Chains A and B, each alone.
Chain A
């Protein structure tokens, strides 16, 4: 197993020639293991040379307030809220960006420091326009929390009495209200450094500074991929998801409407955080009860559709391989890319449109499910599809964009009517007066009820690949995946490295299973082949992998690559609860893998509901003509030039 170590987020966005020399030297000193004594508020600690005051303070469990600092992002040092006093120095220093190079004595809460911090807060509040009561971040806003922490009881420098900017609600996914922006530039660093999409940057200068898009165009008109990572990192309500809960409530309250919700795996692992639980406590079955109490008529598991995606995508891969190996067709496009992450799909459409044929034509689980609910489910339950309202609970803001793509109307109606984020559902549950963690458990509704562990792990980076390999290897070898990997856990694909690569040799092949016998006469052509797969998450890493493919590197020899737009995969999605950090994402991943273990069926092709759908509805089987009409899609060449 070969792993490529690429940290999420670059330490500095400047090219090597422009990086500050001191930082380079310090890193070197750190490598030498040189250590230094530092005293913070009278507590001593020994830290490696070059450690920042903030890091040292955290080691001592001394609280220093921060605002522009974020664990996932490079340093900015612009907000000045973390200022501390260093003995012998005339001016205050920002703790987040001060590397310790000599033994120093630091005080974090002297009168001078407190006054300075309060001053900074007063200045921030003077230009922050917005009413806390009507803000989506009310109660979990970092600026609000700091104002409370520092006892701000008056607007010392006045306050903005009218908005300076119009709210940009052009995007289906992200709403920008720059009146609430405090210019911490977390979104800028997220968009440019962490995701390398490059939509947001600070424009103009001085008091006219504003975070904006290219030529200040509406977000819907620029290369935004709707990943929502900026929302997760915004300390205020300046960036938020396009909230459609009112429309969903309206549908629920309409007796003529049959409102169906499907829930993705990641929100279950995250929603507890909205109710004060520590990260990593899955509430799958409590959430089902809560959704029914909210008034949803049916609660379905998106994992069913994830299993369906695995079958369709896996068979598509085998078909592509057959074309390439047996028919030696040069037009067979490999590697095949996954297409479940709508952020990644839009990224590819914008930045690498020439590679669109690599993208699996299979729709994402959300859209597959929508198409099935308004056709198969409507027919079997004698419902008029025009009265069915499909809601999708997703950890994702890009899903709101995806369900509005014009081509996503395979059922003759809009396949998915509304996309909800984890945060929005938490709001609905609170609004309904439900204490989620204390609720009794209940199962998903039939006919899709049963899902498999393979669907659950879609939520973590590497999960789609693991699920696909479980199915593809079993279909091809005719043997239990447990014979190759203990407990069916394909551990090499797990983890948080930016890009991973694995090779699976196929030594022997079995008989072709009935499900795909009409497509493949035998598997002999696969005997002795080595299946090469790749996994990456975060569009910055996706860019590295794409460049590697373009330059004919290792990933260009892969057969199948999983791409996820968000760092950590869906569990770190733009619709998940705030805040986010590597530790929080790791806890959510743990929750997802523990859920997988709890399922009795853990492979997509063993899901009885899936087999029933192919028997009763998609009679031509995987990648047959019915499934092509309902479950597959086409993509748009967008390009990165903006008219």
Chain B
């Protein structure tokens, strides 16, 4: 049976709702799942979620636009967030930032053309005693140095290459 992309998404969301619930409070866990799997929450997806939870699409958009970890536009497979608060700044986040920019050839707030990496700032990751701190998807790296950056990126690339044919979810760190 031919299933369009949209029908498939709807099926998947229905399945997720079966696990999480149809309550209004299911919205956030649902959005997190979608974000994890698709690296963003599409316009159509927001409308389906609204439809299934019996709320308005603009309410879903309101929530998505409120949280920094939920995105309307596609992000890379690996979203790298570097802490920019005072202690990490003093611990040398600028050097790490320069290394990231040079290695990935993108600026902060951008995504690599191959869709593998997105670079962004974070405001305090709670690792002030171990700065500079950096988040790659859901994994935290502390005491990051420019040398370590290279290794982390290499590990990401390797993981991406090794599992290139598997489902996007398994590609995550």
Interface residues, chain A, with chain B CB atoms under 8 Å away: 14-15, 17-18, 192, 197-205, 212-215, 222, 640-642
Contacts and interface: CB of A to CB of B under 8 A. Distances in A.
A201 B23 contact: no
A642 B57 contact: yes
Contacts of A201: 56, 58-59, 61-62
Nearest to B68: A205
Contact of B47 (A18, A197, A642): A642
A641 B23 CA distance: 21
Nearest to B62: A201
Contacts of B47: 214, 640-642
Interface string B1-39: 000000000000000000000011100000000000000
A215 B24 contact: no
Interface string B46-71: 11000100011111011001100000
Given A192-B56, A198-B58, A199-B58, A205 B66 contact: yes
A204 B65 contact: yes
B72 interface: yes
A273 to B, nearest CB: 32
Binding site secondary structure of chain A: loop
Interface residues of B, number: 18
B170 interface: no
Binding site secondary structure of chain B: helix
B65 A205 contact: yes
Interface string B132-159: 0000000000000000000000000000
A212 B59 CA distance: 10
B59 A192 contact: yes
B43 interface: yes
Given A15-B23, A205-B65, A205-B66, A215 B59 contact: no
A215 B72 contact: yes
A641 B42 CA distance: 13
Contacts of A198: 55-59
Given A197-B56, A199-B58, A641-B47, 6 more contacts: A14-B24, A198-B56, A203-B66, A222-B58, A640-B47, A642-B43
A589 B47 CA distance: 39
A215 B43 contact: yes
Contacts of B56: 192, 197-199, 201, 214
Contacts of B44: 641
A203 B65 contact: yes
Among the interface residues B44, B56, B58, B66, which one has the most CB atoms of the partner chain A within 10 A?
B58
Contacts of B43: 215, 642
A141 B47 CA distance: 36
5 contacts: A15-B25, A201-B56, A201-B62, A214-B46, A641-B44
Contacts of A204: 65-66
A325 B71 CA distance: 56
A200 B58 contact: yes
B58 A15 contact: no
A17 B25 contact: yes
Contact of B61 (A14, A205, A214): A214
A203 B72 CA distance: 12
Nearest to A641: B47
Contacts of A15: 23-25
B24 A214 contact: no
Contacts of B59: 192, 198, 201
Contacts of B24: 14-15, 18
B159 to A, nearest CB: 32
Nearest 4 A/B pairs, CB to CB: A198-B56, A201-B62, A201-B58, A214-B58
A215 B23 CA distance: 23
Contact of A215 (B55, B61, B66): B61
A472 B170 CA distance: 68
B62 A203 contact: yes
A17 B24 CA distance: 9
A215 B72 CA distance: 9
Nearest to A210: B65
A202 B62 CA distance: 6
B12 to A, nearest CB: 18
A282 B47 CA distance: 45
Contacts of A205: 65-66
B58 A213 contact: yes
B42 to A, nearest CB: 10
Contacts of B23: 15, 17
Nearest to A15: B24
Contacts of A213: 58
Contacts of A199: 56, 58
B66 A214 contact: no
Contacts of B58: 198-201, 212-214, 222
A267 B65 CA distance: 40
A453 B96 CA distance: 79
